[in-house]
Structure 1
Amino acid sequence: MKIIIAGAGAVGTHLAKLLSKEKQDIVLMDDSEDKLVALDANYDLMTVCTSPTSIAGLKDAGVANADLFIAVTPDESRNMTACMLASNLGAKKTVARIDNFEYLQPIHQEFFKKLGVDSLIYPEMLAAKEIVSSIKMSWIRQWWEFCGGALILIGVKIRQTATILDIPLSELGKQNIPFHIVAIKRGNETIIPRGDDTIKLYDIVYFTTTQKYIPYIRKVVGKEHYADVRNVMIMGGSRIAVRTAQYAPEYMKMKIVENDAARCVRLTELLDDKTMVINGDGRDVDLLVEEGLKDTEAFVALTGSSETNILACLAAKRMGVRKTVAEVENIDYIGMAESLDIGTVINKKLIAASHIYQMMLNADVSNVKCLTFANADVAEFKVKEGSAITKRKVKDLGLPKGTTIGGLIRNGEGIVVTGDTQIQPKDHVVVFCLSMMIKKIEKFFN
């Protein structure tokens, strides 16, 4: 595929690095030469120093032959304009990063397609949805639903209270367990497990299961004593904070601590009465305690500083808060945050890249996600008639090493997959693999 990325900022650069590893034909364009120099020398891609809204510049970048044009500059209007121009100059598909939630309403979708903008991506909204999923339960690190919740992925940090420690997975399998362990993060290593692997203390383990067996998993990981989340404190009144408060379930009480008085006024206009807005410095622990930090089950740090967010979550944990979430935009800090036992890490770049990456796949894929801590990806494929995945039982498919099928949804019902499972056309199949292996899996579904 020929892919042109307009904007060498954080999202564009990360996406270009990601895709260049797959040997795609990548062109990264930006009007700042300084941003492009290092990338041109160190990665297998071409850079073009030009404005994304220049017709001549787009022609020079080869937009007429582009399979995918992605505009991810910081300026929403520029992204929209670049996509309109690229589409009219021959790009087959366009994606624009936006900041206006109104554009995402379904009634506007056809309008933007007529203009030449095929897809819109709003990283702050995606991040907020991920935060809300992760704070629904204090004992999980990650929560993701497939087909409206028919199948669930949960990531859990294993403590001493777990009853599944040091038991080979093949032994667990003989007990007819109602879950599938699809990935294990151990230190800096990500394991797609086999039967002889075991779960160790402090592993982050990713399970797939159905809704009714979530209490069972909670029991075997020894976290029944963790309090349910009812009170949430958010540090920083960013756009992600606003969306998080809006998407949170009705039963959750939200408090947002924001240092800027003018921003606080704006927050009170944007949010309803279930969210309390507090004008103050979220780094002031005494203020947070005064505002009820010790009675809070979840603390979410969403300032513009990754370091501040990590330190704030550490302070909250010291005060007894079970669930902490930190926005960490510096990818190099994600591993450090995990080693410091920050509960959930949110990174807009990885979230945006997951959604854009989905658009590159030829198979019918409805979900792609990068597991933030683990060097692994998960994708939901819809099975076509006659595809290779339907020809044999799962154990005989010869899936590449480093991949596993975590579960499937058939006629709206979630099913945990075993080696003897026979996948059928129209099934939705959830596949886990080490990072950048999704393209190798794709051929089984075509």
Structure 2
Amino acid sequence: MKIIIAGAYAIGSHLAKLLSRNNQDIVLIDDDEQRLENISSDYDILTMHASPTSLAALKNAGAADANLYIAVTPDENLNMNSCVMAKAIGAKKTVAKVNNYEFVEPEMAKFYEKLGIDSLIYPENLAAYDIVNGLKMSWVRQRWDVHGGALVMLGIKLRETCEILDRPLKELCKPDSPYYIVAIRRDGDTIIPGGNDVLKMYDLVYFMVTKQYIPYVRKIVGKEHYVDVKNVMIMGGGDTAVRALKNMPEYMNVKLMEHDVERCDYINDQIDDQRVMVINGDGRDLQLLNEEGIHTTQAFVALTSNAETNILACLTAKRMGVRKTVAAVENLDYVNMAVSLDIGTIINKKAIAASHIYQMMLDAEVNNVRFLMTANADVAEFTAHPESKVTKKRVFELGLPNGATIGGLVRNGEGHLVSGGTQIEAGDIVVVFCYNVRMEKLEKFFR
């Protein structure tokens, strides 16, 4: 697949990292030579120093034969214009990043498609969706619904209350067990576990489970005492916060703290909801936090533009008794530090956007894919085709690449966990957790 990326900024750089693992034919265009040098030294991609709105540059980059053209510079007008040009000279599919929610309204999709823009990405909206989804389960670090929730993957931090510590997985994950452990994140390393591996305190463990057994998993990991989120505090009133407010469940009450008076007025104009209170103040002010009821708050979400501020604010909220904390960490270099400090859920809207675009680049066999930043791994849904390799043998006989494990499957709309003796059938949607595995190696099993 030939892919052209316009913009060597955070999203473009992260995309290049994801794609370089899969031997894709990638050209990265940017008008800043230094940004290109920083990326080309790390990843196996071709770079071009040129403007993405130069017709000559697009032709030289091979846009006429491109399967996918992606424009992810900070300038939404440049992104849209370059997509229109790339489509006009032959690019099969175009994607543009925008900074305004109005552009991604569903009724506008056909209009932009006529112009030559097949898909628009608004990172703030994608991040807001992840934040709201995370708040629905206070005891979970990450949640990923597979095929509309037929299967659910939960990332859970284990504490001393966990009932299944220090026992080999072969005792825990039996063929009739209601959950399956697909990965463990421990001391900065990701482990695809075997039967002799054990769970340790402070592990971040990824469980695959069907919806009806989520309460059971909650019990065995010792999280039943975590109170469900009803009261939320948000620090920072940027676009991500506004999108999150618009999508909050009806049973949640939110207090948003923003230091800029004009921004407070703007948010009040945008949000007509009695459950939302906008406060002009600094979310780092301990007196203000106490006055506004931090001790009766179940979740604290820090969404300022400063990663250090968000990390420190979440640490403070935890010390004041808040169980669930969410921090926006836009500097990717700080993500591992935030994880090691036990912040809670980490949100990086650029990585989320890159992951969303990433799934567009994979073959038709892949229905959906999610890059899990904290585990540095992918979770992908594959459809098993008739006569494909996965339908010929039981799971334990397939010889999957090291670093890959099948966590479950969806058959006729119903989720099922997978054991070594499971026989995959044509039409099954199979969920694969993969760490340091090229996606193309897995695709061969499903064709």
Q: Look up the SS of the partner of 1:329 in the other structure.
A: coil
Aligned pairs for 1:253-402 within 5 A: 253-273=253-273, 274-402=275-403
The ranges of structure 1 where at least 4 consecutive aligned residues each deviate by more than 6 angstroms after the TM superposition are none
- 2:169 aligned residue: 169
> By how many angstroms is 1:108 displaced?
2.9
d(CA) in 1 for partners of 2:176 and 2:61? Answer: 56
- 2:129 aligned residue: 129
- 1:152 aligned residue: 152
Aligned pairs for 1:200-239 within 5 A: 200-239=200-239
d(CA) in 2 for partners of 1:131 and 1:439? Answer: 31
1:113 paired to 2:113: yes
d(CA) in 1 for partners of 2:364 and 2:66? Answer: 19
d(CA) in 2 for partners of 1:424 and 1:98? Answer: 41
2:366 and 2:381 in contact (8 A); partners too? yes
d(CA) in 1 for partners of 2:51 and 2:173? Answer: 56
d(CA) in 2 for partners of 1:41 and 1:407? Answer: 38
- 2:182 aligned residue: 182
User: Match for 2:126: what amino acid?
Assistant: L
Aligned pairs for 1:35-50 within 5 A: 35-50=35-50
d(CA) in 1 for partners of 2:249 and 2:96? Answer: 29
> By how many angstroms is 1:329 displaced?
0.9
1:439 paired to 2:440: yes
1:361 and 1:442 in contact (8 A); partners too? no
2:254 and 2:277 in contact (8 A); partners too? yes
Q: Look up the SS of the partner of 2:361 in the other structure.
A: coil
Report the TM-score when normalising by structure 1. 0.97
2:58 and 2:86 in contact (8 A); partners too? yes
> By how many angstroms is 1:241 displaced?
0.5
- 1:418 aligned residue: 419
> By how many angstroms is 1:286 displaced?
1.4
1:73 and 1:97 in contact (8 A); partners too? yes
- 1:199 aligned residue: 199
> By how many angstroms is 1:102 displaced?
3.0
d(CA) in 1 for partners of 2:436 and 2:130? Answer: 20
User: Match for 1:121: what amino acid?
Assistant: I
> By how many angstroms is 1:231 displaced?
0.5
d(CA) in 2 for partners of 1:365 and 1:276? Answer: 42
> By how many angstroms is 1:33 displaced?
2.2
Aligned pairs for 1:63-74 within 5 A: 63-74=63-74
User: Match for 2:205: what amino acid?
Assistant: V
d(CA) in 1 for partners of 2:79 and 2:383? Answer: 31
User: Match for 1:428: what amino acid?
Assistant: I
> By how many angstroms is 1:4 displaced?
1.0
d(CA) in 1 for partners of 2:105 and 2:424? Answer: 35
> By how many angstroms is 1:436 displaced?
4.8
Q: Look up the SS of the partner of 2:335 in the other structure.
A: helix
2:127 and 2:240 in contact (8 A); partners too? yes
1:166 and 1:198 in contact (8 A); partners too? yes
Report the TM-score when normalising by structure 2. 0.96
> By how many angstroms is 1:257 displaced?
0.4
- 2:16 aligned residue: 16
Unaligned runs of 5+ in 1: none
d(CA) in 2 for partners of 1:375 and 1:42? Answer: 17
d(CA) in 2 for partners of 1:143 and 1:174? Answer: 23
Task: Quickly say closer, same or farther: Cα 1:405–1:100, change in 2 above 3 A.
Answer: same
Deviation string for 1:221-255 (max 9, x for gaps)?
Answer: 01111111100100000111011111111000011
d(CA) in 1 for partners of 2:34 and 2:16? Answer: 16
User: Match for 2:396: what amino acid?
Assistant: K
- 2:5 aligned residue: 5
d(CA) in 1 for partners of 2:421 and 2:144? Answer: 25
1:96 and 1:117 in contact (8 A); partners too? yes
- 2:405 aligned residue: 404
- Point out the more displaced range, 150-159 or 8-17: 8-17
Q: Look up the SS of the partner of 2:371 in the other structure.
A: strand
Q: Look up the SS of the partner of 1:14 in the other structure.
A: helix
1:363 and 1:445 in contact (8 A); partners too? no
1:363 and 1:442 in contact (8 A); partners too? no
d(CA) in 2 for partners of 1:423 and 1:110? Answer: 38
User: Match for 2:223: what amino acid?
Assistant: K
User: Match for 1:423: what amino acid?
Assistant: I
Q: Look up the SS of the partner of 1:399 in the other structure.
A: coil
> By how many angstroms is 1:333 displaced?
0.8
Q: How many residues align?
A: 446
Task: Quickly say closer, same or farther: Cα 1:131–1:67, change in 2 above 3 A.
Answer: same
User: Match for 1:84: what amino acid?
Assistant: V
- 1:242 aligned residue: 242
Deviation string for 1:270-289 (max 9, x for gaps)?
Answer: 11222111111112121111
1:346 and 1:372 in contact (8 A); partners too? no
> By how many angstroms is 1:125 displaced?
0.8
Task: Quickly say closer, same or farther: Cα 1:116–1:175, change in 2 above 3 A.
Answer: closer
> By how many angstroms is 1:106 displaced?
3.4
